[in-house]
Chains A and B, each alone.
Chain A
Amino acid sequence: MANHQPTYKNRLIILSLGIVLIVTIIVSFLLGRYPIAPSELIGMILSKVFHIEPYWTETMEAVLFNIRLPRIMLACLVGCSLSTAGASYQGIFQNPMASPDILGASAGAAFGAALAILRSGSSTMITMSAFIFSLLTVAIVYIISKKAKGSKLLGLVLSGIMVSSLFSAGTSYIKLVADPTDQLPAITYWMMGSLSGAKLREVGFAVIPMALGLIPLFLLRWRINILTLGDDEARTMGINAKRLRFIVIICATLVTATSVSVSGMIGWVGLVIPHLARRLVGSNYRHLMPATMLFGAIFMLIVDNISRNLLSTEIPLGILTAFVGAPFFLYLITKKGEVH
C-alpha cells in the first residue's frame, strides 16, 4: 500500500457517508402517508428564505415542518448519539462488546425516566433522572466487572446483563404502581422506543445535552485510541487516563440518557453501528468517530422510515433494531479473530 493511502481512503468514505446522509434526509421528507413531491419539497424549503407563491397545500406545509422535520432531526440525533456512545464505550473499556445497552446505560436511563414520570416530573426532570440513573448503572457495571474473575470481556457483558435486569425489574415495578390512565402509557411508550409524535420543541430540548456530549467525544477521538492500550501505557505516553476515561463516560452517558429520554429504549444501535463503521474505516478513532456518527444517523433514519411506512400502524423502533441487532450480535460472538 502506498503511503497515506488509508487516510485518503477514509476521508473519501466519510465524505460519501455525509452525502448518503443528505440523500437519506431528502428521501425521508418525501416518504409518508401524506405524499409530498420533490418539487413541492424544494418550494416549501425555499419559501422560508424567498417569497414564493405557494403551489402546495397548507396541510402539506404542516406535515413537512411540524411532523416530518422534527422526526427526521430526532432520528439523526438519536442514531448519532447512540452509535457514538457505543464506539466511545468500546474504546475506553477496551471491549468491543461494550455498548449503551450492554453496559446498562439504557436500562438505567429507562428506569430513571420511568421514576420521573411516576413522580410527575417535567421533561427536564425526566432527562436529569434518566442521566443520573444511567450514570449510576454504568458505574455499578464497571465496578463489578473490575472485580469479576476470569475474562474481562465476559465480566463486563455479564455484569451489564445482571445490573440491567435489576433496573428493568425496577422499571416493571414502577409500571405496576403507575397510574394506568396517563403514567403507564407514557412509560410503556418509553420502553418500546419510538420517534412518533416528535415535536420541534423536544428536538430543541435534546440538541443541547447531545451537543454537550458529542462535541467533546468528537474532539477527544484521537486520544481514545491511546486509552484502548490500557491505563498504565496511556499514562507513560502522557495521557491522564483516569481523567480522560471519566470525561468520555460522562459524555457518552449524557448522550445515551438524552436519547432514551426523548426516544425511549432503542437497542443494538450502539453495538452494531460502531462495528460496521470499523469495517469501513478501520479501528483508528480519528476516522472511526465521524464515520460512526454519520452511519448511526443514516441507519436510524432508514429504520425510522421503515417504522412509519412499512405497515399501516407504526412499528416501534426498538423492535426493528432488535431484528437487525440480535442476529448481528450472534454473528459477533461466533466470529473469531477481530474481536480478540
Chain B
Amino acid sequence: MTATTPTDPPAIGRDRQGDILLEARGITKRFGDILANDDVSIALRAGEIHALLGENGAGKSTLVKILYGALEPNGGTLHWQGREVTIASPAEARKLGIGMVFQHFSLFEALTVAENIALALPRGTAMRELSARIREVSRDYGLTLDPQAIVADLPVGIRQRIEIVRCLLQEPQLIIMDEPTSVLTPQEADQLFLTLERLTLEGCAILYISHRLEEVKRICHHATVMRHGKVISECDPARETAASLARMMVGSAVHDLKRGPRPDAGAVRLELRGLSAPADGPFSVAIDTVDLQVRGGEVVAIAGIAGNGQGELFDLVSGERLSSSGSVQIDGQAAGRSGITARRRAGAAFVPEERLGHGAVPGLRLSENIVLTRHSTGDGLVRGGFVDTDRAGELEKRIKNNFGVRMSHDDAEARALSGGNLQKFVIGRELDRQPGVLVVNQPTWGVDAGAAALIRQELIDLSRQGSAVLVISQDLDEIFEIADRIAVISRGHLSEAEPAETMTRERIGLLMGGMEDRQGGATHAA
C-alpha cells in the first residue's frame, strides 16, 4: 500500500499557526505483528485546530493514546514546547497541559455536574468554589451548565459540555477531541464549533479526530491523514473537497452509489402500529407509540442521536423483546406476539448494531455463525435436530464470494475478522436469503468507506428488487444517500416519515431535539 502517492502535495494552510506546542517524531507502535503506528510524525501548533483523519484501523487512536500517555511507543520521541519529554501516564499529560475529551463519556449518572467534575480534580477543592468556577468557565465559553443538575437528567449534548468544562478547568494548552460531534444534533455541533473557535483565539491547540469531512473542511486549519499506520499526507482541508479527503483516507476513489428511480409505491410489507414498551432498565429508553409503514421497493431511514431508543425499537421490531402494546405486521401477517424466529420465517431479516456478541458469536467460525440466524428459515441447515455442517460451509463460501468478505484463512472465527469484513458478512448472511423485509441498525457503523459504499449499494439494490428496507442510522450523510423516506426518533418517539427530497438537515436537527410538538410525550425515560 506504500506505493500509493498522495494526490496533492502537502500544502500548509492559512498561516494562523503559532509556535509548535507538541511534536511527535518518528513514533512507532507495534501490537504483535501489526505496526499500528509506523514512523508517524505530527506537529500541533498553538491556536490551530488540527484534524486527524483516517479510516478505522488507520492508527489514529493509537497515536492519540500515545500523545495522551495511555500507551507507550516502541520508538520515536515526543517534544513539548521544543523540549523532549516522556509522557508515561494521562496524569503526566494533564500536568503538561494536555487535556482530552473522549468519545464515550465517563460520567456517573447519579451524581451532579459539580460532583462529577470534582472527581477529576485534585482532592480538597471546595464544592462551593468549584460551582462558582464551573459557572464562570461555562459562561466564558458559551457552554451553559447548571452545576447542581443530576447527570442522568441531561441530554447528551449537555453531558459533552460537562466533559469539556472538566477539561477546561485544568487549563490545558492542547485539547484532544475524539469524534466530538458523533452524538450531537447539527445545532449542538454549531454551538461546539463556536466554543472551539474561541479556544483557538486564546492560543489553545486542538487535535480534532473526526470522520465527518464536511465538518473538518469547515473548522479545521490543518489536517494530517493516516492510512495503515502511516502519515499519508498533510493538507489544508479548506482547500480540499470532501471527495479528495476521502480519497486520501481510503487510497482509492470511493465509488458513487447508483440509485435507480424509486419504483411506484408497492404494498406495505412492514407495518408498526402504536408500538410501545416501557424502559427495560434505569438507563434504557421507553418506546412510545411508534407508527411506521415500510413499502416494498423503498428504503426508509430512522435518524436520531445515539441513545434515543434505536436499540430498543430494533429489539421490538425483531421480536427479541415483545412490545407491551401495539402491533407488528410482516407482509400483512400479525407478528407482534411472535418471537424473532417466527418473524424470520415470515420473511423478515435483521441486522443489529453490535456485530460481535449480538449479530455474531466471536468465538464461532463463520459457517457456525450462519446457523445462528438461519437455523429455522428453510435453508436446510438443520435436519431432524442435527446441524448440516457441509451445507453451512457451502453457504459460508457463497456469502464470502458474493459479498467480498476477506479473512486470513478459510472459515475463520468471527472475532478474527476486521470490522468492515464482519459487517459485510453479517449483512450478506441476511441478504443471501433475499428477505422481503430487512431491518438494519447502524449498517456502516465503524466500517471503512469502501465497505460502507458497498453495503449501502446492497441495501438500495435489495429495496429495488421489491423488498422493504428499514435502516436505523446516526449518520445523516448515509441517510441522505440511501433513504427514500426519513423519520426521526427522539426519546423513544418516532416522527412521521417524510420524503427525503423535502427533508432538510435543519428540520432533522429540530426533530432530533424533540422540538416538534409530541402527543403523549410525558412517558420518556429518566
Please indicate whether A and B come from the same complex rather than being unrelated chains. Answer: no
